[in-house]
Structure 1
Amino acid sequence: MREPRSRALLALLSSARLLLAGFCFIVIEIATHDGTCSPKFNVLFLVSDDMRPQLNAYLGEDFPSSTHPRMHTPHLDGLASRSLLLKRAYVQQAVCSPSRTSLLTGRRPDTTRVYDLQHYFRSVGGNFTTIPQYFKSHGYVTAGMGKIFHPGRASNFNDPISWTEPYYSEDNHHWVEEQKNSWFAVNDEETKKFPLPDQLTAQHAIETLTRLAPKAKTGEQPIFVAVGYHKPHLPFVFPSSFLDFYPREDVQLPKNPFAPAYLPEDVWSDFSELRKYKDVADKYGYGAINTTLPNDVVINLRRAYYSAISYTDSLVGKVLQTLDDLELSNNTIVSFWGDHGWQIGEHGEWCKHTNFEIATHAPMMVHVPGLTNTGIVTEHLTEFVDLFPTLAEAAGLPKIPLCPENSANIATCTEGISMVPLMKSNQDIDWKTAAFSQYPKMLIDGDIMMGYSMRTYQYRYTEWLPFDMPAYKPFDDVPVYVVELYDHAVDPDENVNVADFGSYAAVRKILHEKLSQGWRGALPKSG
């Protein structure tokens, strides 16, 4: 690729905002700061499993808990400082495969028809284009490693069509015994001989970036490298040195270890995922509503969760440092997200599997060189389905169209919107007015109800409806099983369900109508 011969020519190209195909690709009206014209942006796609926004970058009203130690997350905080930091990003379902499928296809669970850890979207929903597949179709080398899609049959073993390179899955055989408990701090020296799975993934990412860097740097061959870390997913297995950041005396119990007042028992989650580990099992009950684990167990689990987050942060840092060392940072978009929130004793709940704020609210940030370098923080409501169209636009690829009502036979479309406008004009922008999540629940008689949850700027409103799983839709003309309403202006921890309070009758009616309109009704009017 020939470089501009003078600064004057570069200024002319930049001011004219020209896209010169085959010679120079200027995306989003920017050029790299080293005075050269940039080819297609590369993409580093970073993912963490079960990480709620427990990062210093989220401190304030968007932090997931009011009782916490100071978090040690320097690398993710650093990335946030040069990214569009999405303070209010919401997943479409708080469990791994549905959430990842939704984000990676840009479509919601009722379109992907993935609500569990077994079904594969191409089999039950449609042959939808994924984010890496889209970049692959536009000439990118796409390399995936660790946990990007949910592994196994839920993704036909990591969705092979999405990748140009063989998918990398780490060896985990050495640490089988340690993973039978809910948490385990391993000896740091032993990890040098037997690296933990996420350490292997980080090393593979470094080797992959190093191998692909020469052509990626010049623009001869753009790359999309997806790196998925398993932690802080259960079991919390991490090098013991990370416990040093969280002295036991600094770790506190949650302020609300009880179910919200007036919460119907039918919607309770019994956190069976945690109870399968031998150190918890059913020693402390069976996860019934308003039962709690002993205080020392809660403290230890919270401390281990924080340590697993800092461990993940350190691995993110190694890969980001490699990007700098290879001189790829100036032409590489970097995104980071956790696949959903997580409960560590709040409401007496554990894991995800709910529609509470703390389960559906997750971290997300997007760095675009030249556009977000000084950091942009937004409180606008965003959703995980928004990432697909955002990355496409930021990379200068063709715009992803909005899906019609029935998109089962349409390969490439989205049920989200690009967040690039938030990078350009964050404050007085016409934006979506609500974010939508959902979660299915099986009742004692075997019937399924679906909890459709909507987050506005002040409220979380949820209706639990009888759901016809074979038809993938709620029953028509049936009464709502359960309604939840939480007013975040006075109750940010969602401790009181005010759905049946007379003083909220008018609010409930308005929110019911808004939820009935669905996500399309919440889109920006200008869009």
Structure 2
Amino acid sequence: MSIANANDKPNFLFIAIDDLKPLTASYGRTDAITPNIEALADNGVVFQRAYSQYPVCGPSRMNLLTGLRPETNGILNLSDTIRNVNVNVVTLPQKLISEGYVTAAAGKIFDPRNVDDNYDSQSWSVDYIKVSGDVDKKTADNLAVKAIDAEENRFVDGKITNQGIALLQQFAEQEKPFFLAVGFKKPHLPFFAPKTYFDLYDANEFDLAEFQQLPTDSDASYVDSNSNELIKNYNPAVGQNYEFGNITPDQQRDLIHGYYASTSFIDAQVGLLIAALTELDLADNTVIVLWGDHGFHLGDHGLWGKHTVLEQANHIPLIINVPDSIAHHTNALIESTDIYPTILDIANIEIDEHLQGVSQLPVIKQEKLTVRNGAVSQYRRNAAMGYSLRTQNYRYTEWWNTNGSGIAYTELYDLNNDSDETVNIFDAEVDREIQQQLYNLLRDNGQGLELLQGEPKDVEPLIEEIAVEEESPV
């Protein structure tokens, strides 16, 4: 099967991985041991420039599952529930049910804090069953990193894998197409994983982030997350605390070790799921989507965690494997918002006009180099909302005061020449024409960005579709 026709709907296995950075070999890294994700990448389309719209677990997931940007779907925190703030929303699995699919979830797909106690039952044809681990629960000593000598099926992610395989076995016995979403909880903090995966690495060999300061000419009140997720909730060892702004080199290597071990553990779970697809004779008609919900700072800019609009908090791994399609890597920009309409398009289901994402099927089929000229991420801090536009060459961010008084602060990074975002060059080294084009381009991509609505532009916008990436100055 290639792309579904009207009478032959594909199955979908959607794999969500919490806090996963694009650190695998398919993204140019060689230090992470992730053979199963690499095997998937070798047979699929690897989106090198995929971006989260809100670097927090709940909003990033709701953004994908509704096809709507955060200010439109209404989830910008970890306390509101979707049916309370957006009564008429139709989630991706809910839409697929109406098109004849059976849908089910195992693990963390929605953030449970943003749905009701039934895990949004409208979205699932099979009742959701929550599982928990026996050995990897957060402990009273609040350790951030722990190698645990126990069998994998005693960890919550091992149990999620088993649950996912059981659902695949159930679906293999029926004729309806299925959408199975499996959400793994690592490498989210705390970095607890089986000892065998820690043993894959030598912590002393990890390189620390080269640039561990905030960008030159930046305003810390907007840029700095203070690493609150780590500092406020976790400790490096019993009787100790992480010291803000002074996480020692040994502590940094320990954290990186835990993150990589957790990532390799999840890679093994991905391998088990994909092997089950093959064993159940489902692989030839199943589209696999592997997605990280947002990025993670591992010491760059002195930051640990997400919660910024910088590149490392929003750049995500995304692999889409459509059976019999041509495997390739693409630099096409893609938002998580786009996954909803892309799945509908692959299944030959009409795309609802209200969706704010765009189908990336033309990129998957290599009919177009790109369907987007920008990807937008956002985050709220310092009584302002930061709207951050990622283009092929730049990251441009406007921080808008939420009291309606306009733009408070602007950032601009030349990612071709400064991939680590070390210097904010807005109003400095970049000519005014480029800055004006980025200003316009943010507004061209401003659907669902509340504070930008009705904002005038000074010059004509750039062309909507960039035929050849290198031709665009931005």
Contact 1:385 1:417 in 2 (8 A): yes
Pick aligned residue for 2:200 from 245, 262, 283: 245
Partner of 2:296: 342
The CA deviation at 1:505 is: 3.5
Instruction: Name 2:63's counterpart in structure 1.
Output: 102
Aligned to 2:313: 359
Structure 1 residues 153 and 98: alpha-carbon distance in aligned structure 2, compared to 1, 3 A threshold: closer
Per-residue Cα deviation, 1:363-409 (whole angstroms, up to 9, x for no partner): 1111111224xx1211011111110111111122x221332xxxxxx
Q: Per-residue CA shift, 1:277-311, capped at 9, x if unaligned?
A: 342498343x4xxx231110001101110111110
1:486 aligns with 2:437: no
Equivalent position to 2:374, from 434, 447, 468: 434
- One of 37, 52, 69 as aligned partner of 1:91: 52
Q: Following the alignment from structure 1 to structure 2, what is the Cα–Cα distance between the partners of residues 174 and 250?
A: 28
Q: In structure 2, how many angstroms separate the alpha carbons of the residues matched to 1:226 and 1:115?
A: 22
Q: 2:159 aligns with which of 172, 195, 200?
A: 200
**Distance (whole Å) between structure 1 residues aligned to residue 342 and residue 17 of structure 2:** 19
Q: Which moved more, 1:497-506 or 1:276-285?
A: 276-285
More off after superposition, 116-125 vs 152-161: 152-161
Aligned residue pairs, count: 450
Q: Is 1:262 matched with 2:200?
A: no
Is it true that 1:461 corresponds to 2:402 in the alignment? Answer: no
1:175 counterpart SS class: coil
Decide which of 15, 20, 42 is 1:51's aligned counterpart: 20
Q: How far 1:518 sits from its partner (Å)? A: 3.0
When Rg is computed on C-alpha atoms for both structures, the one with the higher figure is 1
User: Once the 2 structures are TM-superposed, how far is the Cα of residue 519 of structure 1 from its aligned partner?
Assistant: 3.9
8 Å Cα contact 2:332-2:369 kept in structure 1: no
TM-score normalised by L of structure 2: 0.89
SS of residue paired to 1:493: coil
**Cα pair 2:136 2:193 within 8 Å, conserved:** no
**Counterpart of 1:402?**
353
For residue 317 of structure 1, what is the aligned residue in structure 2?
A: 271
List gaps (5 residues or longer) in structure 2.
Answer: 448-460, 467-474
2:307–2:313 CA contact under 8 A, matched in 1: yes
Structure 1: tracts of 5 or more residues without a match: 1-25, 31-36, 64-68, 404-413, 469-474
The corresponding residue for 1:235 is 190
Q: By how many angstroms is 1:168 displaced?
A: 2.2
Question: Aligned AA for 2:11?
Answer: N
Q: What is the rounded CA distance, in whole Å, between the counterparts of 2:406 and 2:127 in structure 1?
A: 50
**Contact (CA 8 Å) 2:133, 2:157: kept in 1 or not?**
no
Given the superposition, is the C-alpha separation of residues 241 and 519 from structure 1 closer, same or farther in structure 2, using an over 3 Å criterion?
Answer: same
Aligned to 2:40: 79
> Given the superposition, is the C-alpha separation of residues 283 and 381 from structure 1 closer, same or farther in structure 2, using an over 3 Å criterion?
same
Match for 1:191: what amino acid? E
In 2, the alpha carbon distance for the partners of 1:27 and 1:278 equals: 47
For 2:117 and 2:274, how far apart are their aligned partners in 1?
Answer: 30
The change in CA–CA distance for 1:135 and 1:118 in structure 2 (over 3 A counts) is same
Quote the Cα distance in structure 1 between the aligned partners of 2:273 and 2:154.
Answer: 16
User: Quick one: structure 1 residues 282 and 503, their matched pair in 2 at CA, closer, same or farther if it must change by over 3 Å?
Assistant: farther
Contact between 1:49 and 1:232, CA under 8 Å: does it hold in 2?
Answer: yes
**Aligned position for 1:279:** 235
- The answer to whether the Cα contact below 8 Å between 1:435 and 1:519 also exists between their aligned partners in 2 is no
Gap change, CA 1:282 and 1:104, over 3 Å in 2? farther
> 1:152 Cα shift?
3.0
Aligned-pair CA distance for 1:178: 4.4
Distance 1:430 1:314, change over 3 A: closer
User: Which one of the candidate residues 459, 474, 499 is aligned to 2:426?
Assistant: 499
Change in CA separation of 1:257 and 1:364 when aligned onto 2, cut-off 3 Å: same
Secondary structure of the residue that 2:441 maps to in structure 1? helix
| Structure-1 residue corresponding to 2:151 | 191
- Correspondence 1:380 to 2:336: no
Distance in 2 between the 1:393 and 1:490 partners? 36
Equivalent residue runs for 1:128-139 within 5 Å: 128-139=89-100
Q: TM-score, normalised by structure 1?
A: 0.81
Equivalent pair of 1:334/1:367 in contact (CA under 8 Å): yes
Quickly say closer, same or farther: Cα 1:235–1:116, change in 2 above 3 A.
same
- Asked if structure 1 preserves the Cα contact closer than 8 Å seen for 2:291 and 2:319, the reply is yes
Identity of aligned residues (%): 33
Amino acid at match of 1:262: D
Q: Contact 1:152/1:158 (CA < 8 Å) preserved in 2?
A: no
Residue by residue, what CA displacement relative to the aligned partner does 1:504-526 show, whole Å, maximum 9, x if unpaired?
Answer: 44322321222233345789459
**RMSD value over aligned CA atoms?**
2.4
Kindly indicate whether the alpha-carbon contact (under 8 Å) linking 1:183 and 1:301 is maintained by their aligned counterparts in 2.
yes
Counterpart selection for 1:421 from 349, 357, 362: 362
Determine the structure 2 residue equivalent to 1:371.
325
Q: Aligned partner of 1:272: which letter?
A: N
SS of alignment partner, residue 173 of structure 2: helix
Give the residue type in structure 2 aligned to 1:422. Answer: V
Secondary structure in structure 2 of the residue aligned to 1:308: helix
Using a 3 Å threshold, how does the CA distance of structure 1 residues 74 and 523 change in structure 2: closer, same or farther?
farther
Q: Distance in 2 between matches of 1:158 and 1:29?
A: 29
Asked if the contact 2:437–2:462 (Cα under 8 Å) also holds between the matched residues in 1, the reply is no
